């Protein structure tokens, strides 16, 4: 019997690193079930991960695809506090909310939550994030445990929910602001020319339509 995406997902390490070529582990799991991705695209899982997926799906346990990266020791990142400028870009890039800090203040990595995805590295404008191997010579599932995978999945799911909620709340604030401005555009504008006001009204209405379009799927 063909496995479900949930069954495939349960065998992935949940690092959310995107090395498989998909936006997250769940998307990769779905692609495997759909037959659009091979089971050898997850370097964090290593060959043991490929073999686990092979047992579940019945697909051949091919060597890891080098295009997706190589099996390696587990890593975590840390931030050189002397160089951190507090830009918050790494915080936004971290899929499991393992980096704490605030705008223009030094950031810190909670290493016990870091999955070693390294998605924070390319966004750092001052290159102050360093990578450290923490599993010795152990690689793949020998360096990663089911407990860590469960923790990473839980944090990813919660952080994704949190970001979507914050985006929705921000859209609601902007929509209410736009509605208020549109209710008395002449009063909220420095312009009095009817043509300019009509142009501004069209821009605001278009923005409101986009905001409503983002809101509607969450209300069904």
Reported as a pLDDT band with limits 50, 70 and 90, residue 105 is: confident
**Per-residue confidence (pLDDT) for residue 206, from 0 to 100:** 73
Q: Give Cβ neighbours of residue 163 (< 8 Å, ≥ 6 apart).
A: none
72-144: CATH architecture:
2-Layer Sandwich (3.30)
Vertex 133: Cα angle to 83 and 160 (nearest 5): 70
Mean pLDDT of 124-131: 96
The angle that helices 194-215 and 146-183 make with each other, rounded to 10 degrees, is 150
pTM for the whole structure = 0.76
**Per-residue confidence (pLDDT) for residue 214, from 0 to 100:** 64
Domain at 5-68, CATH class: mainly alpha
Q: Does the structure show a pLDDT above 80 at 106?
A: yes
Residue matched to tokens 């690092």? 15
Q: Give Cβ neighbours of residue 103 (< 8 Å, ≥ 6 apart).
A: 86, 87, 88
Domain boundaries, the chain: 5-68, 72-144, 146-219
């Amino acid at each position: 019997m063909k496995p479900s995406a949930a069954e495939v997902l349960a065998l992935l390490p949940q690092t959310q690193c995107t090395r498989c070529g998909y936006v997250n582990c769940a998307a990769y799991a779905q692609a495997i079930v759909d037959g659009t991705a091979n089971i050898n695209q997850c370097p964090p899982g290593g060959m043991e991960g490929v073999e686990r997926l092979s047992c579940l799906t019945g697909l051949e346990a091919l060597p890891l695809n080098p295009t997706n990266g190589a099996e390696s020791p587990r890593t975590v990142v840390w931030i050189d506090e002397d160089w951190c400028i507090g830009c918050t870009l790494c915080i936004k890039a971290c899929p499991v909310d393992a980096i704490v800090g605030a705008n223009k203040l030094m950031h810190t990595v909670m290493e016990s939550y870091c999955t070693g995805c390294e998605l924070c590295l390319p966004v750092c404008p001052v290159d102050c994030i360093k990578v450290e191997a923490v599993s010795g010579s152990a690689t793949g599932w020998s360096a990663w445990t089911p407990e860590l995978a469960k923790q990473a999945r839980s944090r990813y799911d919660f952080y994704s929910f949190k970001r979507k909620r914050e985006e929705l709340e921000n859209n609601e604030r902007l929509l209410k602001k736009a509605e208020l401005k549109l209710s008395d555009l002449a009063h909220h504008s420095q312009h009095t020319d009817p043509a300019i006001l009509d142009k501004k009204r069209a821009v605001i209405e278009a923005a409101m339509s986009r905001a409503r379009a983002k809101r509607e799927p969450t209300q069904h």
